């Protein structure tokens, strides 16, 4: 007879007590939200009886739970001013284009969408929302405070305002969020950081487009007071610092021991103080390091350097027109009016010009694989070039390359359009969809 091991009764009791004492150990759940449930008296957060408001779902969540929000436009006090202090995931079912949190804020009724606070919120994820029309003194859409380090991904943040810090996102008090795959445009602040402001914090910003934002200092991003900010594969374009006295149309770095690293990015058409410039430094012990980035060469660079401050232009920087499909538009009143299309044309110099040592299994802002063509692109988008020979058309000469490399595996190939390492039927389908197109990029 096989021996049976019996656990001591005391051990069983200890395990049960710990399971009850530690939230989330009994298994995470999904809590559902649907704005169509307004007025339903039986809201429990279940699939059949979802909450009508996001705030109610967040209050009901335990660590590791998922708040899943249905398509809709979410307004009112129960859908903004949402405080998150535990590691939960708040995600949309259908993506940011169809899941909108409209704060509808005003000077008389100031409010933002989310407030992340405390180190316990560091595992929190915000995924797939449009946040718009927020207004607060700090952080028009989102604040990360008190060592909060959430992930903010796949979001559109637009038309938000702050009085002092961070038109869209403010990172303060040793907060270190990851901001990735976001479109941040048309936001403003009176003082620092039209889109993003870091104060004694260390955000990482990746695979994002930051365009059409404005402030007095740092039209796109302001990094202040012992902040350490890292920026990878971002397109920072057409942002404005104050047209009279502002500094740093793109990036502003100031106050002691602030360090900023930018790589594989595009800094283009950012302006300040009536002239065009990309970045500015102020105060002692401030450093800005830029590599493998397309920086507009004819732009004046304001550098207000005190003791021991420096700009390090590292390897791989270029200064060539990135050839965007289209630029955005500021109206005559100085407001952001029309977004640009910041994909690039097939002959753009930013294609395959990023750091050759960059290795990643990430995707670009459109969800397409990085890296394509053997080397990462500069900017938020990874261009997949169907026109293999670069003659402006997808035709038989390109098909000849596919034929030569057909069914090769584990290769880096211009014919591997889906970047999976193999040249196969999936790549042929992508190629045939572009047959004889004059602008063969995706």
Please report the DSSP string for 258-291 in residue order. Answer: EEEEEES-EEES-EETTEE-SEEEESSSEEEEEE
Indicate whether 249 pLDDT > 90: yes
Averaged pLDDT score across all residues of the chain: 88
Per DSSP, which regions of 175-217 are E strands? 178-180, 183-185, 188-189, 196-199, 204-206, 209-211, 214-215
Q: Which of 248-252, 420-424, 434-438 has the lowest mean pLDDT?
A: 434-438
Q: How far apart are CA 101 and CA 362, in angstroms?
A: 27
User: Residue 65, SS3?
Assistant: coil
Contact between residue 352 and residue 262 where contact means Cβ atoms under 8 Å apart: no
Share of the chain above pLDDT 90, in %: 67
Contact between residue 61 and residue 28 where contact means Cβ atoms under 8 Å apart: no
Q: How far apart are the first and last CA of the chain?
A: 66
**pLDDT at 308 (0 to 100):** 77
The answer to whether the Cα torsion of 183, 153, 178, 421 is positive or negative is: negative
**pLDDT at 84 (0 to 100):** 98
- 369: which 2 tokens? 């694989």
Geometric angle at alpha carbon 403, from 397 and 406, rounded to 5°: 145
DSSP letters of 375-401?
SPPSSS----B--TT-SSS-SHHHHHH
Decide which of 244 and 128 is more confident: 128
Average pLDDT over residues 364-392: 82
Q: How far apart are CA 105 and CA 340, in angstroms?
A: 26
Q: How far apart are CA 99 and CA 129, in angstroms?
A: 5
Most confident range, picked from 81-90, 274-283, 284-293: 81-90
Q: How far apart are CA 318 and CA 332, in angstroms?
A: 32
Contact between residue 330 and residue 355 where contact means Cβ atoms under 8 Å apart: no
The CA distances from residue 213 to 13, 250, 311, 328, in Å, are: 57, 9, 24, 11
**pLDDT at 412 (0 to 100):** 60
Average pLDDT over residues 356-370: 84
**pLDDT at 243 (0 to 100):** 80
Indicate whether 1 pLDDT > 50: no
Contact between residue 341 and residue 333 where contact means Cβ atoms under 8 Å apart: no
Encode 212-241: b = buried (16+ Cβ within 10 Å), e = exposed. bbbbbbbbbbbbbebbbbbbbbbbbbbbbb
Contact between residue 282 and residue 251 where contact means Cβ atoms under 8 Å apart: no
Indicate whether 33 pLDDT > 80: yes
pLDDT-based confidence at residue 284 (cuts at 50, 70, 90)? confident
Average pLDDT over residues 287-302: 84
Indicate whether 146 pLDDT > 60: yes
Cβ within 8 Å of residue 396, ≥6 positions away? none
Indicate whether 361 pLDDT > 80: no
pLDDT-based confidence at residue 296 (cuts at 50, 70, 90)? very high
Indicate whether 19 pLDDT > 70: no
Indicate whether 405 pLDDT > 90: no
Indicate whether 25 pLDDT > 50: no
The answer to whether the Cα torsion of 99, 168, 314, 278 is positive or negative is: positive
**pLDDT at 12 (0 to 100):** 43
Decide which of 157 and 303 is more confident: 157
Q: Which of 96-110, 290-304, 328-342 has the lowest mean pLDDT?
A: 290-304
Indicate whether 312 pLDDT > 50: yes
Indicate whether 175 pLDDT > 50: yes
Average pLDDT over residues 84-110: 97
Indicate whether 338 pLDDT > 80: yes
Nearest to 380 by CA among 234, 184, 210, 221: 234
Cβ within 8 Å of residue 203, ≥6 positions away? 144, 169, 171, 175, 176, 177, 178, 179, 196, 227, 229, 230
- 253: which 2 tokens? 């770095």
pLDDT in tens, 195-216: 999 999 999 999 999 999 999 9
Indicate whether 88 pLDDT > 60: yes
């Amino acid at each position: 007879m096989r021996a049976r091991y019996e656990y001591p009764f005391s051990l069983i009791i200890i395990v049960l007590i710990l399971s009850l004492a530690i939230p989330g150990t009994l298994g995470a759940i999904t809590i559902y939200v649907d704005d169509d449930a307004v007025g339903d008296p039986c809201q429990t957060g279940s699939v059949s009886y979802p909450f009508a408001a996001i705030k109610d779902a967040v209050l009901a969540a335990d660590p590791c739970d998922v708040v899943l929000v249905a398509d809709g436009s979410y307004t009112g006090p129960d859908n903004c001013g949402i405080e998150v202090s535990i590691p939960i995931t708040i995600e949309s079912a259908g993506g940011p284009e169809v899941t909108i949190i409209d704060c509808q804020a005003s000077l008389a009724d100031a409010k933002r969408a989310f407030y992340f606070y405390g180190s316990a919120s560091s595992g929190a994820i915000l995924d797939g929302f449009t946040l718009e029309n927020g207004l607060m003194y700090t952080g028009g859409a989102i604040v990360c405070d008190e060592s909060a380090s959430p992930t903010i991904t796949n979001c559109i943040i637009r038309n938000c305002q702050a009085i002092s810090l961070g038109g869209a996102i403010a990172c303060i008090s040793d907060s270190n969020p990851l901001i990735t795959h976001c479109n941040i445009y048309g936001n403003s602040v009176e003082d620092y950081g039209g889109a993003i402001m870091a104060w004694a914090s260390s955000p990482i910003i990746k695979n994002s487009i930051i365009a059409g934002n404005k402030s007095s200092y740092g039209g796109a991003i302001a990094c202040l007071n012992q902040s350490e900010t890292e920026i990878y594969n971002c397109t920072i374009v057409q942002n404005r610092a104050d047209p009279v006295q502002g500094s740093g149309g793109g990036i502003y770095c100031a106050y002691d021991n602030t360090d900023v690293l930018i790589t594989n990015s595009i800094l283009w058409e950012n302006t300040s103080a009536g002239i065009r410039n990309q970045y500015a430094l102020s105060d002692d012990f401030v450093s800005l390091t830029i590599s493998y980035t397309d920086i507009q060469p004819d732009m004046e660079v304001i550098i207000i350097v005190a003791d021991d401050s420096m700009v390090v232009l590292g390897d791989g920087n270029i200064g060539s027109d990135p050839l965007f499909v289209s630029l955005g538009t500021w109206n005559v009143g100085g407001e952001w009016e029309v977004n640009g299309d910041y994909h690039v044309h097939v002959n753009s110099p930013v294609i395959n010009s990023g750091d050759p040592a960059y290795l990643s299994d990430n995707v670009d802002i459109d969800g397409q694989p990085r890296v394509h063509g053997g080397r990462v692109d500069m900017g938020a988008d990874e261009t997949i070039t169907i026109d293999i020979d670069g003659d402006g058309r997808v035709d038989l000469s390109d098909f000849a390359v596919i034929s030569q490399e057909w069914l090769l595996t584990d290769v880096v190939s211009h014919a591997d359009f889906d970047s999976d390492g193999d040249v196969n039927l999936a790549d042929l389908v992508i190629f045939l969809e572009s047959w004889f197109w004059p602008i063969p990029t995706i």
